Amino acid sequence: MCGNLEEVIYRLINENNKVVRLAVLPFGALLTILFIISQILLFGRIPMAEREYDVTVIGGGPGGYVAAIRAAQLGMKVGLIEREKLGGVCLNWGCIPSKALLKSAELYNTMKKSQEFGITHTGLSYDFPKIITRSRGVADRVSKGVEYLMRKNKIETVFGTAKLTEKNSIEITKDGKVTDTIKTKILFLLPAADRALFQE
């Protein structure tokens, strides 16, 4: 039995585009492959298993991930949906990277006055792309820290855009394609303040 879809496809069509005899596969595996092919032809995607959570949080910012952690600490099965990066606008695009940029500016300004402290230098300059790279690196490290907290508390993170399809059902899309469906008992909507809760 093949371990994943790629292995199945490889066993059906090898590198020379020659069809491998289907008789080599068990009957159950053959039925599964035919079902998958039919779903791709009909709906353009592979059928997915529905996820189920006690609590689902939409929005991975400071309100969302803290709520998710607390729910997990109370013994609930928790899913967290985030469109882009965990940590929210402040961590990824606002406060944290901005402060990293300001630190570089502060250091440059201090170095210009270094002679006041008895320190001399020649050829003081700055490399703006490196300043930006450092700023992004600082934000990325903190965001990865939030990802670690999710794993530590056994919270499943689902990346994509959330859409409520029913009272307790959520559909996740990425690049215009449905990637997950979720059933939940309790739902928290905690998106960024400047983003619409729902998309057409």
Render pLDDT for 177-197 as a digit per residue (tens, 0 to 9): 888 899 999 999 887 665 444
**Residue with more model confidence, 51 or 192:** 51
DSSP H or E segment with residue 101: helix 95-112
Q: Which of 189, 199, 200, 194 is nearest to 82 (CA)?
A: 189
Q: What CATH fold (topology level) applies to the domain 49-200? A: FAD/NAD(P)-binding domain (3.50.50)
Where along the chain do its domains lie?
Answer: 5-43, 49-200
CA distance 68 to 59: 10
If you average pLDDT over residues 81-94, what whole number do you get? 90
**183 DSSP β-pair partners:** 52, 169
CA distance 151 to 161: 21
Q: What are the E-state strand segments in 28-135?
A: 51-58, 78-82
**Residue with more model confidence, 103 or 189:** 103
Instruction: State the first-to-last Cα distance of the chain, in angstroms, to the nearest integer.
Output: 41
pTM: 0.67
